[in-house]
Structure 1
Amino acid sequence: MTGRLAFVESPVQLLNVLEWAHARGRGPAPAAAPAPAPPAGADRAPGPDAARASAPVPDSGTGPGTGSASASGPGTASGPGTAFAPASGPGTSPAASAPEPGQGRDAVPAASDDLAIVVLSPSDPMSRGQLRRMAQLARDEGFDVHWQEARAGRGALVRTLRELGGPLRAAERVIVGDPFSRYVQLLLTLFGPRHVTVVDDGTATMEFAAQLAGGERLVRWHRKGDLGPRELLLAPVTSLARRRLAPGPHRTVEIFTSLPVQAPPGTEVTENAYAWTRSRFGPPALTGGADLVGTSLVETGVVDAEHYLRVVGQLARTHGATRYFAHRRETPEKLHRIAVETGLQVVRPELPLELIARRGPVGATIVSFPSTVVHTLPLALAGTGVKVAVCEIAPEWLKATASPRAQGFLAGVVGTASGADRLTPRGGSAADRLEFG
C-alpha cells in the first residue's frame, strides 16, 4: 500500500488535514496532551489559562521560537494571539528561504503507509508565522511535515517540482487544501493521483463544489469573470486540473468539509465536525464579553473600507466588544485605524481561530462577518455556551468594482450558517443599527 501526501498553503488547510486524519482513525499521538504555555515570543499559541500578550515572531525562517518584539500603542491586546503590530517585512530575506529545523531541502518525505504533509510556504509573513505554529502542532501529533519554500525566488518552482515528483508519483491519495491554487493545479496536471481529497480552505470550498458540479472553470468567487493575460496563459493548466479534481472511472474524489456543499455525483462528501480540535483543546474560559472577528473583504476588493470601519465600530458599541481578531490578510494600516477609531484591542491570532477560541479565554458572544468561521466556530465550540453571530453584508457596502457574484455568494454563506444567529442591517446606512434578525 502506498501512502498519503497532503499539500497545504494556509494554517486552516493544515488544521483541516489534521481533522481529516483524525476522522480517518489517525488519533493524536499518545503524548499529545496540551503542553504548558511557552514563554512570550515562543512559536506556540497560549493554553487556556494563559491570558497574555505574546510577542510577534519575525519571519526569520529559522523555526519556532526564534524571535520576539513588543507591540505597543493602540490595539495592544492581552489575550490568545499576537498583539497588533505592523508586519515585519515581506519574508524574502535570505534567512526566510532556509528550511525548517530537521527538514532539509532534500528531505521531502517519501510516501509511505502514513500521512506526510508538505507545506507550500506562502510569501506573506502572517500566514508563514501561523503555518510554522501549525506545523509544530502537526509534528507534536507525530506527523511528518516538510516545509517547502515553493515561492523563494527564481528557480523555486522547478526545484519544488523536482523534489515533489517522486513522492507524488508514489502517493495513493493526495490531499489538497486549495483547489484554486495555481501551484496545486500545476502539480495535479503533472501527476494525476488515483484518489483526491479536498479539505476546507474557507468558504471557497462551497464555490469549488458548485463549479465542479456545473462543469465550470475554477475561479475564486471574488474575482471577475473576464480572463486576463495571466489567466489565459494558465487556462490549459486550470482546465486539466479541474478534470483531475473530478471523479471518474480511474479516480475517486472526496470533499472533507464543515460547509454545506453541492458536490457532483460520484463525489464522497465527509463531514468535518472538528472532533480533533474538541478532543485536543478546551473547553475555554469565557470572558463574559464579546469578541469581533475580522475579515479580508476590504483587502479582496469586495467591501468599501469606510463602510467596513463604521460597521465595526457600531458592532463594538452594540455588543460591548473589547477585542478584534484580525484576519491574517488584513493590512496593518486598516488594523491601526480600527484600534484608534474604535478602541478595540486588535489581536493577530497565532493559530486558526477555531483553536484560539477553543483554548480560550474567549467572549461569551463572537460576532463575525460572512466567513468560514460562522460555520466552523459553532462546531469547534459546541457545548461551551459561546454564541456565534454573523453580520450580513448590505448591498450598499459593496464596492462598485466588486464581482457581480459577491452579494449572492456572501448571502449564501450567511443563509447556510445554521449554527449562528443573524445580524441584519436595518435601514440604508452602514451606520444604522444591526439587530438580530
Structure 2
Amino acid sequence: MSPAAGPAGPAPTRTLAFVESPVQLLNVLEWAHAHGLSAEVRRPATDSGDDTSPDGAAGAARDLLTVVVLAPTDPMTRGQLRRMAELARDEGYEVRWEEARGGASAPFRTIGALTGRLRQAERVVMGDPFSRYVQLLLTITGAPDLVVVDDGTATMEFTAQLSRGERLVRWHRKGGRPGPRDLLFAPVSAAARRRLAPGAAGRDGRRVEVFSSMPIDTVPDGVSVTANRFVWTRTRFGPPRVTTGADLVGTSLVETGVVDCDRYLAAVRALAGAHGAGRYFAHRRESTEKLHRLAVETGLEVVRPELPLELTARRGPIGRTVLSFPSTVVHTLPLALEGTGVRVAVCDIDPSWLTPTASPRAEGFLSGVTGTARGVHRVAGTALPGRQAPQAP
C-alpha cells in the first residue's frame, strides 16, 4: 500500500494578461507585485509533481500568470515590448509573443491559439479595454475576474464612459456618428462593455478591478479600484543619478492629430530655452520626421528610450527637473521618482495649438489630465506661443 498523499494545496488560479504596449506590460508587473504574486507562489509545479515552495512548505497557493503580447507593427513599440518581455521572464512569468497583426490571417491564428487558455482562465487582465482585439477576446472567455491595468490617461476616460453607460471610444477620436467599421463591431463592443460593468457588487459572481495610478473620480457600480504606486519599479530599479539640468518628455499629440506640429515644435523650443533642457525623451509613437526637425530646430538631444519612461528615469541619469505636456507621465513619474528630489513640471496645451480636426473633447480632457496630477508643478512665466504669460502675484 502506498503512503498516503499529503494534503493537496489550493488549485492554482489561471490568469491571462493581454498587453499591446510596453506601459501596459509594466503595469501588469506592478499589479502582480501589488497582489503578492512573489516568485515563490507563482512557480508552477515541477514535472515530478513536487508542489513545495523553496523553504519546503507544501501546498502554497499559486497563480499561473501568462502574459500574452498582442504584438503591434510599430518598430519602436515592438522594441520596448521585447525588453519588457525580458523583464517579465526575469520575474518568473510565462510570456507568449503573438504576431497578432502579421497579415490578414493573423487574428484567426492568434484567436485559435488562445481559445483553449481563454476558456480555462479564471482571471483576465487587460491593458486596453478600448482595443477591438481585447474586446473580441472577452467574448470568448467566461473568466469571473476581470482586471484593467493602466494604459495611460485613457483609463480616466474608460471609467467615466463605463459609469455613464456610453460606448467605449478613445478620447482623441473625432466626435460624430460611428463609421462602418464601428457599426460592424458594435455588438462585440457592447458585449465587452457589459462584461466590464458588473453592476451591483457580486452580481453573478463577477468581479472587475481597475488598477491605476490615474485619478478616478467616478467609479462604476461593482468596480473596485486599486492604487498603482509603482512599488515594483522603485524596488527593482534605482535610485537614479540626478543631474543638475532639465529633461523634456515628448508626446504623440501631433501624431494622433490633436496638436498642430508647428505649434508643438515652437512650444518645445520655448520650454527648452526657458528651462535649459538638454534632452528630449521621445514618445515611442513620435515620427522620425518630426523628431529630426525637432533636433535641428531646438538643438535638443533626442533620446529614444528602450523601456517605458518610468523605468528609464528610475535607472537614470535624469534631470533634476522633468518638463512634460499633459500626458500619463505627469501622474506616473512623481510616483516612480518618489524620494529622489526630481521635480516634475507640466505645461498646459493652449487651445490655439489644437488642430481643426481635433476631437471636441480634447481641450477638456487635456486640461483635466493636468489639473488632476498630484505632485507636479505648473510651468509659469514662460512665453509660449499662443499663451499669455501668467501675471506675477
> In which range does the TM-score fall when normalised by the shorter chain?
0.7 to 0.9
Matched, 1:182 2:132: yes
Question: 3-state DSSP class of the match of 2:138?
Answer: helix
Out of 339-348 and 222-231, give the one that drifted further. Answer: 222-231
1:154 is displaced (CA, Å) by 2.4
1:310 pairs, out of 251, 260, 266, with 266
Whether the aligned pair in 2 keeps the contact of 1:217 and 1:238 (CA below 8 Å) is yes
Whether the aligned pair in 2 keeps the contact of 1:29 and 1:140 (CA below 8 Å) is no
1:166 is displaced (CA, Å) by 0.7
Matched, 1:423 2:373: no
Distance, in Å, in 2 between the alignment partners of 1:399 and 1:293 is 21
TM-superposition CA deviations, 1:56-115 (whole Å, max 9, x none): xxxxxxxxxxxxxxxxxxxxxxxxxxxxxxxxxxxxxxxxxxxxxxxxxxxxxxxx8321
TM-superposition CA deviations, 1:303-344 (whole Å, max 9, x none): 011100000000000010000000000000000011000000
Q: What is the aligned partner in structure 1 of residue 185 from structure 2?
A: 234
RMSD, aligned CA: 1.9
Q: Highest Rg: 1 or 2?
A: 2
Q: What is the aligned partner in structure 2 of residue 87 from structure 1?
A: none
Q: What is the aligned partner in structure 1 of residue 198 from structure 2?
A: 247
Corresponding residue pairs, total: 356
Question: 3-state DSSP class of the match of 1:292?
Answer: strand
Matched, 1:133 2:133: no
Q: What is the aligned partner in structure 2 of residue 256 from structure 1?
A: 211
Distance, in Å, in 1 between the alignment partners of 2:383 and 2:239 is 39
1:433 is displaced (CA, Å) by 5.1
Q: What is the aligned partner in structure 2 of residue 402 from structure 1?
A: 358
Residues 379, 187 of structure 1: CA spacing in aligned structure 2 closer, same or farther, 3 A cutoff?
Answer: same
Whether the aligned pair in 2 keeps the contact of 1:29 and 1:141 (CA below 8 Å) is no
Q: What is the aligned partner in structure 1 of residue 152 from structure 2?
A: 202
Distance, in Å, in 2 between the alignment partners of 1:396 and 1:345 is 27
Amino acid at match of 2:158: F
Q: What is the aligned partner in structure 2 of residue 345 from structure 1?
A: 301
Residues 428, 276 of structure 1: CA spacing in aligned structure 2 closer, same or farther, 3 A cutoff?
Answer: closer
Amino acid at match of 2:29: L
2:233 pairs, out of 249, 273, 277, with 277
Distance, in Å, in 1 between the alignment partners of 2:383 and 2:232 is 42
Residues 233, 436 of structure 1: CA spacing in aligned structure 2 closer, same or farther, 3 A cutoff?
Answer: farther
Q: What is the aligned partner in structure 2 of residue 74 from structure 1?
A: none
1:419 is displaced (CA, Å) by 1.1
1:423 is displaced (CA, Å) by 1.8
1:435 is displaced (CA, Å) by 9.3
1:27 pairs, out of 34, 38, 54, with 38
**Equivalent residue runs for 1:354-433 within 5 Å:** 354-424=310-380, 429-430=385-386
Residues 152, 436 of structure 1: CA spacing in aligned structure 2 closer, same or farther, 3 A cutoff?
Answer: farther
Q: What is the aligned partner in structure 2 of residue 320 from structure 1?
A: 276
Distance, in Å, in 1 between the alignment partners of 2:329 and 2:391 is 20
Whether the aligned pair in 1 keeps the contact of 2:149 and 2:210 (CA below 8 Å) is yes
Residues 436, 28 of structure 1: CA spacing in aligned structure 2 closer, same or farther, 3 A cutoff?
Answer: farther
User: Does 1 or 2 have the higher relative contact order (CA < 8 Å, sep 6+)?
Assistant: 1
TM-superposition CA deviations, 1:356-406 (whole Å, max 9, x none): 000000000000010000000000000000000011011111111100000
The percentage of aligned residue pairs carrying the same residue is 67
1:27 is displaced (CA, Å) by 3.5
TM-superposition CA deviations, 1:121-146 (whole Å, max 9, x none): 00110000000000000001111001
Distance, in Å, in 1 between the alignment partners of 2:189 and 2:392 is 41
Q: Gapped runs of 5+ residues in structure 1? A: 31-111
Distance, in Å, in 1 between the alignment partners of 2:349 and 2:392 is 14
TM-score by length of 2: 0.87
Amino acid at match of 2:179: G
Q: What is the aligned partner in structure 2 of residue 53 from structure 1?
A: none
Distance, in Å, in 1 between the alignment partners of 2:39 and 2:354 is 43
Matched, 1:225 2:181: no
1:232 is displaced (CA, Å) by 1.3
1:12 pairs, out of 23, 44, 48, with 23
Amino acid at match of 1:27: S
1:209 is displaced (CA, Å) by 0.4
TM-score by length of 1: 0.79
Q: Gapped runs of 5+ residues in structure 2? A: 1-10, 42-61
Residues 327, 28 of structure 1: CA spacing in aligned structure 2 closer, same or farther, 3 A cutoff?
Answer: farther
1:236 is displaced (CA, Å) by 1.1
Moved over 3 A (4+): 27-30, 424-437
1:427 is displaced (CA, Å) by 7.4
1:432 is displaced (CA, Å) by 6.2
Q: What is the aligned partner in structure 2 of residue 118 from structure 1?
A: 68
Residues 290, 428 of structure 1: CA spacing in aligned structure 2 closer, same or farther, 3 A cutoff?
Answer: closer
Whether the aligned pair in 2 keeps the contact of 1:189 and 1:237 (CA below 8 Å) is yes
Whether the aligned pair in 2 keeps the contact of 1:314 and 1:431 (CA below 8 Å) is no
Residues 278, 428 of structure 1: CA spacing in aligned structure 2 closer, same or farther, 3 A cutoff?
Answer: closer
1:192 is displaced (CA, Å) by 3.3
Distance, in Å, in 1 between the alignment partners of 2:211 and 2:159 is 11
Amino acid at match of 1:233: L
